Amino acid sequence: MLLLQGVFRSGTTALFRALRRDERLRCFYEPLHPDLLDHIRESRASDPDHPKSSLFAEYAPLLDRLKSRLGSTPPNSPRVLGADDEAPSLSAYLRGLTDTEQVPLLQFNRAFWMVPWLARTFPDASFVQLVRDPRSVVWSQLTTASGERVRMDWPLLGRLLPFSAGTLRRVFSEYAYFGAYQLDECFGAGRRLLHDGTGDAILHDALRRLDAVRAAPPYVKALALWGAQVEACRRHVQTAFSDRSVLLRYEDVCEAPCATFRRIYAHLDHALPDAVRDYARRAIDADRLRRWADVPTAEQRFREGIERAQVADLMRDFDYDLT
Residue 147's CATH number? 3.40.50
User: What is the predicted pLDDT for the residue at 104?
Assistant: 95
What is the rounded radius of gyration, in angstroms, for the C-alpha atoms of the chain? 20
pLDDT at 173 over 50: no
Dist CA 163 CA 213 (whole Å): 32
CA 297 to chain CA centroid, Å, is 27
Q: Tens digit of pLDDT for each residue in 205-245?
A: 999 999 999 999 888 999 999 999 999 999 999 999 999 99
Task: Count Cβ neighbours within 10 Å for each residue of 165-196 and write b for 16 or more, e otherwise.
Answer: eeeeeeeeeeebbbbbebbbebbeebbebbee
Cβ–Cβ < 8 Å for 31, 70 = no
Helix (H), strand (E) at residue 263: helix 257-266
Dist CA 73 CA 123 (whole Å): 26
User: What is the predicted pLDDT for the residue at 206?
Assistant: 92
Name the nearest CA neighbour of 276 among 95, 92, 27, 62: 27
Q: What's at 144, amino acid-wise?
A: T
pLDDT at 294 over 60: yes
Q: What's at 195, amino acid-wise?
A: H
Domain extent at residue 251 = 2-32+75-317
Higher pLDDT, 256 or 293: 256
Dist CA 306 CA 140 (whole Å): 16
Higher pLDDT, 250 or 195: 250
In a domain, 109, yes or no: yes
Name the nearest CA neighbour of 224 among 198, 191, 196: 191
- 3-state SS assignment for residue 170: strand
In a domain, 309, yes or no: yes
Higher pLDDT, 288 or 265: 265
Work out the end-to-end distance of the chain between its first and last CA atoms, rounded to an integer number of angstroms.
Answer: 39
User: What average pLDDT is seen over the chain?
Assistant: 85
In a domain, 91, yes or no: yes
Ranges 165-174, 212-221, 291-300, 311-320, most confident: 311-320
Cβ–Cβ < 8 Å for 194, 113 = yes
Cβ–Cβ < 8 Å for 226, 132 = no
Name the nearest CA neighbour of 157 among 183, 185, 178, 126: 178
Ranges 105-114, 155-164, 170-179, most confident: 105-114
Report the predicted TM-score, pTM, of the whole model to 2 decimal places. Answer: 0.89
**How many domains is the chain built from?**
1
- What is the DSSP secondary structure assignment for residue 273, as one 8-state letter? P
In a domain, 114, yes or no: yes
User: What is the predicted pLDDT for the residue at 71?
Assistant: 64
Helix, strand, coil in percent for the chain, rounding step 5? 50, 10, 35
User: What is the predicted pLDDT for the residue at 148?
Assistant: 64
In a domain, 190, yes or no: yes
Instruction: Provide the strand spans (E) within the chain.
Output: 2-6, 25-29, 103-108, 126-131, 159-162, 168-171, 245-249
In a domain, 205, yes or no: yes
In a domain, 111, yes or no: yes
Name the nearest CA neighbour of 97 among 5, 142, 30, 190: 30
Q: Tens digit of pLDDT for each residue in 46-100?
A: 666 667 778 888 888 887 776 676 666 667 667 899 999 989 889 988 998 998 8
User: What is the predicted pLDDT for the residue at 176?
Assistant: 47
Cβ–Cβ < 8 Å for 149, 143 = yes
In a domain, 58, yes or no: no
Burial class (CB in 10 A: 0-12, 13-18, 19+), 124: exposed
